[in-house]
Amino acid sequence: MADAPTKKAFALRLDPALYAAIERAAAGDLRSINAEVECLLREALARRGVKLQEPTPPRRGRPPKEG
């Protein structure tokens, strides 16, 4: 996948109660915990007036046939 955007991975230590709250929110939004954290961070930055480029959605389906 040469065209796939890369994401930065890092360790994040959270209070267990905060993690549980994020986990419940993610389940309610039908998201993974990772996607929920990313969404929450984007919303918090937007409230602070930080402009971000829209995320590139992952490519789905089969790759096009060559030739």
Task: Provide the residue ranges of all domains of the chain, joining segments of one domain with +.
Answer: 16-47
pLDDT digits (tens, 9 = 90+) for 19-33: 999 999 999 999 999
Cα–Cα distance, 52 to 42 (Å, whole number)? 8
In angstroms, the CA 17 to CA 6 distance is 30
Query: pLDDT tens-digit profile of 44-62?
Result: 999 999 998 887 777 788 8
> In whole angstroms, how large is the CA radius of gyration of the chain?
16
CB neighbours (10 Å) of residue 51?
6
Question: Token digits for 39?
Answer: 């969404």
Cβ neighbourhood burial of 22 (10 Å; 0-12, 13-18, 19+): middle
User: What is the value of pTM for the model shown?
Assistant: 0.72
